Structure 1
Amino acid sequence: MEPSTTVSPSFFDRHLYALKALFIVFMVLILLIPASMIQDLIWERQERQKEVTSEITSRWGAAQNITGPVLAIPYTVASKGTTAYVYLLPELLKINGELLPQKLKRSIFNVAVYDAKMQLSGTFSKEALANIDVPAASLRWEQAALLIGISDLRGIDNQVQMTWNGKSYMFNPGVVSTDLFASGIQTAVPLNPADTAAMAGNFTLELGVKGSERISFSPVGKTTMVNINSSWPSPSFDEAFPPKVRQVDDKGFNAAWQIQHLNRNYPQSWAGNKFDIHSADFGIKLFMPAESYQQSMRAVKYAILIIGLTFFIFYFIELSQRRAIHPLQYALIGLALCIFYTLLISISEQLNFVLAYVISSGLTIGLITIYTASAYKSSRIAAGIGSTLVLLYGFIYVIISAEDQALLMGSLGLFIILAVIMYFSRKIRWDNLSQTTTPVN
């Protein structure tokens, strides 16, 4: 009788699952290459959107900034013999207006534009001039001009005419100096320093401007009061000051600001370009809810998480069911996960991001679930995979939607995922993994 011999498993057999784990890590890293290419695609689409936006705004009008009115009084600099300007801001500035919005579409891109109809009114007082270091005798009151800064003059859609103390003044393009703003309109308002009543008089003017995406104001009044209403349902109030009163619903918004001179970092009068008059600007952005590229880019950044976790889910199924998955099947599943992002980008260009995310993730999860059911010949395993992917994609959406709490939620979510993996992996008999497994066809 011949003695029995025991054939020792080969190195490959003894370390099969360790090698498979290394292969999975390698596949995850390889699939980051198409994920990086998808990021390049998003950048390309963003640049195309910027080109379309620039083309539309160049014809309609860019984002508008309204500054003023400001009273500019020339004087002669004795040491240089040159002309400079003293700037006097209004005691009271009121702006009441309405934004008439619309969406202009070019190709698949939309740009929010508006036609703003505004009334500006207020008063000036020469008392603020007592705080400047310019001799009163050098001021050339008869050459005084009233300036209004408008960032894009192409958007002006009415002939601006001002009433000051019962007299009408017509505005002309250009500014006497670029100390305060680069572009705007002006009108000569000859003043007599001895006529206190004329300096303290009221002004009123109608201003209509077209612009796109944003409109902002400079709080040049000692007290600045702005009231804007519009039918746009999704405004964004940003920059230096939020509205004191706001009302937003699906029919539009109404916002009111009241700002004092103590809230800004420049005085009521000064000479030259000592201060930045735009440092306290505030305004309204006509927010476009379908800013999908930024959200798509955030989703792609979590590609390694989705691909890695999905692969390791299949890996632990291998360990628990003792049924091996072919490397090619891992590659096909990984490609399906990458195609999710191209679906997300292309669909979100036509629909809103939320709906695009639901459709893209639904198609991807459905494809992988059906493929798993066919590969494993088990609807139970496929249902488990599908349910897990639903939770995973839902988790990723919550993270990319919660900008401020994204780090906290992501950290807690990863901790929970790791805890679940450790819980289920505790039952795996790691010392018996070298035994033969059944391949999945």
Structure 2
Amino acid sequence: MEISNHDHNEKPNTEPNINFMRSTTAKIIMVGVLTLVLLIPLQYVKNLIEERSQSQKKTEEGITRQWGDNVFIYGPVIKVPYQTSSSIEYAYLFPEKLAADADVQSESRRQSMYEASIFNAKVKFAGNFGTPDLSKAAILPENLQWERATILMNTNGLKSIRGAVAVNFNGTKYTMEPVANEYTADSLISLETKPINLSAARSGKMPFSMDVTYSGTKRLGIAPIGKITETKMTSNWHSPKFSGYILPEKQSVSDNGFSATWKISQLNRPFAQQHLGKLPNLKGYSFYVDLLIPVDEYQQNMRASKYGFLVIGLTFLIFFLIQSISKISIHIFQYTMIGLALVMFYTLLISITEHSSFMAAYLIAGISVVAMITLYSISILKDRKFPMFIGASLSALYTFIYVIIQLENYALLAGSIGLFLILGAVMYFSRKIDWSK
């Protein structure tokens, strides 16, 4: 009789616990915790994408070391020594007119699964120097050593130059050689002629022409040092990015390449035509063209993975609503399998992207995961109506995310509208659920 009373006393204590574990609240908590747990493998996927992206950058750096660096051109400039009370200093004179014509032939160079853009650029310079006037520089005319003047050109690296460099000045050809020059602007190297006697020639216009051939990667930049600088650049590369202090006056981009022209006056930039002591660093006042790889697929993979939490949360929400409406029981283990399948989408995406395009990889990975979850949900839900709805919902969700990834200017607007519509749909389908159970 005592044993019977003991059993009778224990029953009221265990029943509420059993009821709570079967309640809607408990199921919501478990699904929520599982969603947070799945952020751990999702973070590992993001780390994998970042690691592969770093491998891409290292490959680009390797190609850069072998082929040539970004190219920056600064010249030609007349360099005139003058005597001070204690030492020899230098005056630098910029051209009155500078015209540059650059023909840039580009291609994509691959190493293993990665690629970088390389180019060969033939740059032709022409123009003239005007009559020098250093009267405002507080230099006595007798201290200027015109007979020891030279012509120099600055660049960011000699490895990129192909062949000899010579300048045709006043009808005479002068070879340019690399020199150690403490007066050169930061991180630039000088090519300089031997002394040219300008004692007689400096009284009039001094024409010049110069051809330089470069091999480089990604970027070509030119300093607009002429009182009037006119530049034309043509290329077979179809994905340029124009940047720098001044954008092109005209530009045309097509699948066959691009052309761009710049016309820059002395009034358009904040530096003078003459400098004493040291050449200024003009990289910040120059114009550039970057030859971009059309699509940064690792960046798109990273953007896709950032929506992983949204995909997992909405998918679990769909299953939970179906479970609540249809009274079909879905075990937490089955939720786990569905969540892992959703995480696998991103590993499939990054691995297939490295051997194909992002669009093809997204399509293959999306179809594979949607098909897997749809077939798995047939066995869970014992019906074809709900699994077909799940398949359609996942297809719409992945399509929605792909559209957002492709958009740039309207990504936030499209994402906000889409999430608003999703919230409205959830509110509509959950309005008749009895949350008291």
- The answer to whether TM tops 0.5 is yes
- Residue 344 of structure 1 corresponds to 349
Between the aligned partners of 2:215 and 2:317, the Cα distance in structure 1 is 55
- What amino acid is the match of 1:418? L
Moved more, 369-378 or 220-229: 369-378
Does 1:184 pair with 2:190? Answer: yes
Alignment check: 8 A CA contact 1:265 1:279 kept? no
Separation in 1 of the partners of 2:133 and 2:317?
72
**Counterpart for residue 56 of structure 1:** 63
1:274 shift after superposition: 7.5
Q: C-alpha root-mean-square deviation of aligned residues, in Å? A: 2.3
**Larger displacement relative to structure 2 (373-382 or 337-346):** 373-382
Q: Which residue of 1 aligns with 2:37?
A: 30
2:24 maps to which residue? 17
Give the 3 Å change call, closer, same or farther, for CA 276–133 of structure 1 in structure 2: farther
Shift of residue 327 of structure 1?
0.8
CA contact (8 A) 2:153 2:192 kept: yes
Gaps of 5+ in 2: 1-11
**Counterpart for residue 106 of structure 2:** 101
Change (3 A) 1:145 1:360: farther
Shift of 1:238: 2.2
Give the equivalent residue in structure 2 for 1:159: 164
Against the structure 1 CA distance between its residues 374 and 145, is the aligned structure 2 distance closer, same or farther, given a 3 Å change threshold? farther
CA separation in 2, counterparts of 1:146 and 1:29?
67
**How far 1:175 moved relative to its partner?**
5.2
Asked if 2 retains the 8 angstrom alpha-carbon contact of 1:88 and 1:129, the reply is: no
- Name the counterpart of 1:70: 77
Residue correspondence of structure 1 range 297-336 to structure 2 within 5 A: 297-336=302-341
Q: Is the 8 A contact 2:100 2:231 kept in 1?
A: yes
Residue 354 (structure 1) shift = 2.2
Structure 1 residues 138 and 297, CA, compared in 2 at 3 Å: closer, same or farther?
A: farther
Find the partner of 2:130 among 125, 133, 144. 125
Secondary structure of the corresponding residue to residue 158 of structure 1: strand
- For 2:371, give the aligned amino acid: G
What SS does the aligned partner of 2:246 have? coil
Cα distance in 2, alignment partners of residues 134 and 307 from structure 1? 75
**Which string of whole-angstrom CA distances, capped at 9 and with x for unpartnered residues, describes residues 183-205 of structure 1?**
1311135243554445x211101
> Does the Cα contact within 8 Å between 2:221 and 2:287 map onto a contact in 1?
yes
Taking a change above 3 Å as real, the CA distance of residues 233 and 134 of structure 1, as seen in their structure-2 partners, is same
Cα distance in structure 2, aligned partners of 1:107 and 1:407: 35
Q: Map Cα deviations across residues 217-237 of structure 1 (whole Å, 9 max, x no partner).
A: 111112211111111222222
Residue identity over aligned pairs, in percent, reads 35
Which stretch shows the higher mean deviation, 401-410 or 239-248?
Answer: 401-410
Q: Deviations over 1:52-79 (max 9, x none)?
A: 222221111011111111222233443x
Q: How does 1:194-233 map to 2 (within 5 A)?
A: 195-197=201-203, 200-233=205-238
Q: Which residue is equivalent to 1:248?
A: 253
Q: State the AA in 2 paired with 1:205.
A: M
**Aligned ranges 1:222-301 → 2 under 5 Å:** 222-273=227-278, 275-301=280-306
Distance 1:129 1:45, change over 3 A: farther
Stretch moving more, 347-356 or 174-183: 174-183
Q: In 1, distance between residues paired with 2:290 and 2:114?
A: 18
AA partner of residue 16 (structure 2): S
Residue type of the partner of 1:123? N
Q: 1:359: how far off?
A: 2.0
Q: Which residue of structure 1 lines up, in the alignment, with residue 153 of structure 2?
A: 148
Measure how far apart 1:210 and its partner are.
0.3
Question: 1:4 maps to what in 2?
Answer: none
Cα distance in 2 for residues equivalent to 1:233 and 1:227: 16
Q: CA deviation at 1:330?
A: 1.0
Give the TM-score, by structure 2 length: 0.90
> Structure 1 regions of 5+ residues with no counterpart?
1-6, 435-441
Change over 3 Å in CA distance of 1:175–1:325 after alignment to 2: same
Structure 1's 263 and 324: CA in aligned 2 closer, same or farther, altered over 3 A?
Answer: farther
1:439 alignment partner in structure 2: none
Cα gap change, 1:175 to 1:204, in 2 (>3 Å): farther
Q: In structure 1, how many angstroms separate the alpha carbons of the residues matched to 2:329 and 2:277?
A: 78
Aligned amino acid, residue 364 of structure 1: V
Which one of the candidate residues 378, 389, 394 is aligned to 1:384? 389
8 Å contact kept, 2:72–2:221: yes
Pairing of 1:83-94 with structure 2 (within 5 A) = 83-94=88-99
Aligned-pair distance for 1:87? Answer: 2.0
Distance 1:98 1:322, change over 3 A: same
1:233-286 C-alpha deviation (Å, 9 max, x unpaired): 222222333222122212111111112222222221222347431112222111
- Structure 2 Cα separation of the partners of residues 247 and 143 of structure 1: 45
Contact in 2 for aligned 1:244/1:255 (Cα 8 Å): yes
Number of matched pairs: 425
- Could you tell me whether the CA contact under 8 Å between 1:264 and 1:279 is conserved in 2? no
**How big is the shift at 1:404?**
3.3
SS in 1 for 2:38: helix
How many angstroms does 1:339 deviate by? 1.1
The alignment partner of 2:163 has SS state of coil
Contact 1:91 1:124 in 2 (8 A): yes
How far did residue 169 of structure 1 move? 0.6
Residues 374, 140 of structure 1: alpha-carbon distance in 2 compared, 3 angstrom cutoff: farther
- Whichever residue aligns with residue 125 of structure 1, its letter is G
Inter-partner Cα distance in structure 2 for 1:213 and 1:288: 9
